[in-house]
Structure 1
Amino acid sequence: MKSEKILITGALGQLGTVLTNELQKKYGINSVIATDLRPNFDFNGVFETLDVTNFKAIEECVIKHNVTQIYHLAAILSANGEKNPLKTWDINMSTLFNVLEVSRLCNINKIFYPSSIAVFGDEIESVNTPQSPNLTPLTVYGMSKVAGENWVNYYHKRYGLDIRSLRYPGVIGYQSLPGGGTTDYAVDIYHKAVNNEDFECFLKASTMLPMIFIDDAIRATLELMDAPRKIISIRTSYNLAGMSFTPNELYNSIRKTYPDFKISYNPDFRQEIADSWPKSIDDNTARKDWGWKPNYDLDSMTNIMIQKLKAQYHSVVA
């Protein structure tokens, strides 16, 4: 384990920030190379400024650090992606191709590729959406993830690369601010509540979506990557579930701590995106293959989110 060298792209994003820290704990601070497009001069550990659209730069970084595993998190997300569809497609696909080719040429042992519930379109069973439905996404982000799932499956079948993937639901965490996703209302709302501000939601009160607490999302990632290769039956991407709720249910959970908290609803273009996604996910294949099981429900997540954000804002004020 100590000989592993882990490269993470998009390490300063919502998922990358937490995953980097957990991988440092697991493999050692000097065994994890965090990278992102923008520099981070305060980073605790090994950090490289890296443009993942530059094939040569990735290859040089991999060789320089003797990288054995890659977690490719860099991407433009769903809501931001719709503002510039062609750029989103180009960046999301070109960065994946670069990582796949570098991995093939440099004999990388293991690769993680995050997918998303954005791969599902409106031609699915929206309740308990199965592992292998018809994938007709309505966003460029979702289209790029469907294509990405097929490419990682191809590289596994064609070249034998050990690539593993999860279809994340909306990820809710306290460690970073929202990053441009359709489910990000469920992060922003906690910040507003803790700061005694009213919240305007860009989705309807009744919009049910699958979500997952950041701690569960990170644990699922590490459990999948630690699972024996022979038990991995899905080489596109595993369905992953945590919990499902509506903005109104989340609001009522927060009001147990902040009874005077106010919410209003002003649906925008993200409503159409959310309407095309599942209400809940069937993740029985992940449960069967590598023993996945979430630890958090809505109220337990709310309690931790409020506790952590209050501590963060109090420290800033102090």
Structure 2
Amino acid sequence: MKKIIITGALGQIGTELVVKCRQLYGTENVLATDINEPEADSEVAQGPFQVLDVTDKDKMFKTVEEFGADTIMHMAALLSAVAEKRPMFAWELNMGGLMNALEAAREYNLQFFTPSSIGAFGSSTPKVNTPQVTIQRPSTMYGVNKVAGELLCQYYFEKFGVDTRSVRFPGLISYVKEPGGGTTDYAVEIYFEAVRKGEYKSFIDKGTYMDMMFMDDAIDAIIKLMEADGGKLIHRNAYNLSGMSIEPEMVKNAIQEYYPDFKLSYDVDPDRQSIADTWPDNIDVSCARAEWGFDPQYDLDKMTKTMLEAIENKEGVK
């Protein structure tokens, strides 16, 4: 990777991916794009940026050609809970944008990355130690998009020789940018509210296990996969990833090590809970470990300490 375009650069993953890639490959070699303009003082704005609607194929092709890209990291997408409220728009954005990005990769011979998700699984998928290759029958538009995306990426690899690579991300936890519209968002919100208010009301019920990962591990995984020897990749679209399997009470207990008076209550959102109930409790990541050395560094305790300290710094709490 020498000249990288990142779509959806103002999203939860994109924001931090842009910063890391610019550190590694040089600021001028990473073009951030999004449908919205970044705030002038944001880190994304401190380097090349272009407004890009990923559903505009001509604009995407022109952007790739003018920048001289050799890699596209396609992060633009509508997340799970929002996609359920706007399924037609989700299809147009998630699938239309993906097709345009894949066509650009084919036309200009680009290396290609786009994330899938544990949302690609469904209620008929084995919930414990979910295999890399297993039944995928999601019941959400987001999940349908992700399964279709995995298949499309594999098709473009086999049919056209496009170097497509992907992972199935779990819930991602970060202090840099607060999330919006994801089923796993409680696991970010709980840390912010612990610092701000000392209490949190979870929209996901106790005992609901879901896979999660600290954002630093997620960003490192993308780069490690993209730099890996393609000849060793068997399950390139898409690898199971996870840093930990947790439920809300576990997060509460971890926070209480630092905030003993922290209180957790529940006001379950039936829509997001019904989505979470179809996802695995924990997934098998052995293929990612074996094929390209996936090795997350954060467990729940280390992540909790890092999150709370960073949010305290952002909020000016001593």
**Selected match of 1:12 from 10, 13, 26:** 10
Q: What is the root-mean-square deviation of aligned Cα atoms in Å? A: 1.2
Distance 2:132 2:148 in 1: 16
Cα distance in 1 for partners of 2:184, 2:100 equals: 28
Q: Is the 8 A contact 2:198 2:261 kept in 1?
A: no
Secondary structure of the corresponding residue to residue 82 of structure 1? helix
Count of residues in correspondence between the two structures: 313
1:142 and 2:140 are equivalent in the alignment:
no
Distance 1:179 1:37 in 2: 16
What is residue 289 of structure 2 aligned with on the other side? Answer: 287
How does 1:31-70 map onto structure 2 within 5 Å? 31-42=29-40, 43-70=45-72
Fraction of identical pairs, as percent:
45
Aligned to 1:98: 100
| Separation in structure 2 between the aligned mates of residue 59 and residue 124 of structure 1, nearest angstrom | 38
Distance in 2 between residues matched to 1:290 and 1:178, nearest whole Å: 28
Match for residue 277 of structure 2? 275
The 5-angstrom pairing of residues 257-268 of structure 1 reads: 257-268=258-269
Question: 1:185-211 CA distances to partner (integer Å, 9 max, x unpaired)?
Answer: 000111101112421101111111000
The residue matched to 2:77 in structure 1 has which SS? coil
Partners of 1:285 and 1:167 in 2: CA distance = 12
Q: CA deviation digits over 1:116-148, x for unaligned, max 9? A: 000000101101100011100111001000000
Tell me the residue number matched to 2:299: 297
Residue 179 of structure 1 deviates from its aligned partner by 2.1
Q: Secondary structure at the match of 2:22?
A: helix
**SS of equivalent to 2:251:** helix
Give the whole-Å Cα distance in 2 for the aligned partners of 1:229 and 1:84. Answer: 36
Aligned-residue offset at 1:23: 0.3
Note if contact 1:156-1:235 (Cα within 8 Å) is conserved in structure 2. no
CA distance in 1, matches of 2:252, 2:312: 17
Choose the corresponding residue for 1:76, options 75, 78, 82.
78
Distance in 1 (CA, whole Å) between partners of 2:241 and 2:248 is 20
Aligned to 2:265, the other structure's residue is in SS state: strand
Deviating above 2 A after TM superposition, structure 1's stretches of 4 or more consecutive aligned residues are: none
- How far 1:182 sits from its partner (Å)? 0.3
CA contact (8 A) 1:20 1:32 kept: yes
Q: Residue in 2 aligned with 1:21?
A: 19
**Per-residue CA distance 1:237-261 (angstroms, 9 max, x = gap):** 0111210110011011111111111
**In 2, Cα distance between equivalents of 1:13 and 1:305:** 19
> Aligned partners of 2:49 and 2:209: how far apart in 1?
38
Query: In structure 2, what residue type is equivalent to 1:162?
Result: D
Structure 1: unaligned runs, 5 residues or longer: none
2: distance between equivalents of 1:241 and 1:193?
24
Distance across 2 between alignment mates of 1:179 and 1:14 = 8
Alignment partners' CA distance in 2, 1:120 and 1:199: 28
1:88-113 alpha-carbon deviations (Å, 9 max, x no partner)? 112100000000111111221x1101
CA contact (8 A) 2:240 2:284 kept: yes
Match of 1:249 in 2: 250
- Give a deviation string over 1:128-184, Cα, whole Å, max 9, x none: 100011100111001000000000000000000000000000000111011210000
